[in-house]
Amino acid sequence: MAPMLRLYNTLTRQKAAFTPIDPSHVRMYACGPTVYDAAHIGNARPIIVFDLLFRLLRHLYGPAHVTYARNVTDVDDKINARAAARGITIRELTDGTLAAFHDDIRRLGVLMPEDVNVAGARPSFVEPRATDHIAEMIAIIEGLVAAGHAYVAAGHVLFDVPSMPDYGGLSKRPLDEMEAGARVEVAPYKRSPLDFVLWKPSKPGEPSWPSPCGLAEPGRPGWHIECSAMSWKHLGQTFDIHAGGIDLIFPHHENEVAQSRCCFGTDVMAHVWLHNGFLQVEGEKMSKSLGNFITIRDVLKDWPGEVARLAMLKTHYRQPIDWTLRGLEEASRTLERWYGIVGDAAAGMIPAGVLEPLSDDLNTASALAELHRLDDPASLKAGANLMGLLTQTQSAREQGSIRAAGVDVSRVEALIEARRAARAAKDWAASDRVRDELLAMGVAVKDGKDGTTWSVAP
């Protein structure tokens, strides 16, 4: 029998057994990237971690019984400014950035909609974009105004925080602390400093849509409303799991909860809230000013995506992670060793020693420790595959590195044959010359009992 899944829930600050609302349709939402520029390696963390959870849910409940929605934020101040500076539309900018992001994360072994969706069936993975959900945002905003939880002021629509008695239940911040934080620069049209924007007027040149609530001027949505709209559209008013980085708990997730619950009159938005810890680089906060800002693409220039994925999964998702060169080197050595064991073997049964710790709030460190102990290729492959690792065969990997190294395979084979002939004639000098020529091409030869094999030198 499959182990019971346990998850640490930010809402209750406790780890508890996960009970889906409907086990025949488990629904998970994750806040995805804001696509204005190349994603950094910190952004890759929630993508990889929640991809692992998605894989685990598919295993535990069956692939047809899980829906994962990971949104794309394709309208915000940074996007608007960047598009305006380049003289292109926000769609043109975000299409380009999103395509690059997809290339990056695919190489990190992250499942994509086209990998899991089955034609004619309910989609398993959706990637909704904010600008495709303006109608849903407007419906929620108007619902909130009608219910007395939002008001119109100076061309804006604002959420009325004091109208929600249990506002703040996710972040559990004391009201006076939140107020002090919000009071830094309070817009004059806000009734309470905590009130937040649902809709605002667009400045000239900014993208705009017809406004809700009878407002004459066109406008654009505030940030938080998009996730209430997209999760509602794709998962329903209430769903099972909502995930994102720890920085999103307040205000983003708190405000999502306020919007969705007050609009739909529900007790919860999502039952379980998961938050990944932050990534820092070589012991320091990653930032452009410190010069240690690393994009996913920078990492992929030096390392296979699988190495980066393993390096990311070694640390438990709730802990801070220190991204280091040493961690990548270690992950690379580990994968070499594992591929050496697995070779081209097919996956067997997923070992309990891997599934159990993963089911315990994604204890990846324990699951990886078990993979280190396994020496049966079929079990090792199955356990690693569940984590999105060892998904290639050793031969395919070698072929890949041969292609990447630009090696001319027929030339290599002709040289190996020449070397075999030289050795048969005991012409050791000629044999050595051929070997040196191969080495100069980056090809290493190995003589074994079954003949000579070759590989591209690492």
Instruction: Compare residues 33 and 357 and give the one whose CB is closer to ligand AMP.
Output: 33
Stretch that binds ligand AMP, among 163-171, 184-192, 272-280, 362-370 (CB under 6 A): 272-280
Of 48, 90, 279, 416, which one interacts with ligand AMP (CB under 6 A)?
A: 279
Instruction: Give me the least distance between CB of 256 and ligand AMP, in Å please.
Output: 13
DSSP state of 39: P
Interactions with ligand AMP, residue window 38-57 (CB under 6 A): 42-43, 45-46
Helix ranges (H only) for 265-346 are: 296-302, 305-313, 325-342
Mask 227-266, x = binds Zn ion (CB under 5 A)?
x---------------------------------------
Return the half-sphere exposure (C-beta side, CA atoms, 13 A cut-off) of residue 145: 18
Q: How far apart are CA 193 and CA 195, in angstroms?
A: 6
E strands within 44-130? 66-70, 125-126
Min dist CB 259 to ligand AMP, Å, is 18
Strands 26-30 and 66-70, bridge-based pairing: parallel
* Residue 287 or 452 with smaller CB distance to ligand AMP: 287
- Given candidates 170, 248, 296, 412, which one binds ligand AMP under the rule CB under 6 A? 248
Which 8-state DSSP code applies to residue 398?
A: H
33 binds, among ligand AMP, Zn ion, none (CB under 5 to 8 A by kind): ligand AMP
- Cα–Cα distances in angstroms (integers) from residue 92 to residues 88, 103, 113, 281, in the given order: 6, 17, 22, 32
Among 107-115, 214-222, 274-282, 412-420, which window interacts with ligand AMP (CB under 6 A)? Answer: 274-282
**How far is it, in rounded angstroms, from Cα 294 to Cα 279?**
11
* Partner touching 227 among ligand AMP, Zn ion, none, CB below 5 to 8 Å by kind: Zn ion
**Is the Cα torsion angle 168, 173, 174, 177 positive or negative in sign?**
negative
Q: How far apart are CA 391 and CA 386, in angstroms?
A: 9
Answer for which of 132, 247, 336, 432 binds ligand AMP (CB under 6 A) is: 247
107 is a contact residue toward ligand AMP (CB under 6 A): no
Measured from the CB atom, the residue of 174 and 291 that comes closer to ligand AMP is 291
Q: Angle CA(377)–CA(378)–CA(379) in degrees, nearest 5?
A: 95
Instruction: Give me the residues that bind Zn ion (CB under 5 A), please.
Output: 31, 227
Instruction: Give me the residues that bind ligand AMP (CB under 6 A), please.
Output: 31, 33-34, 42-43, 45-46, 244-245, 247-248, 276, 278-279, 286
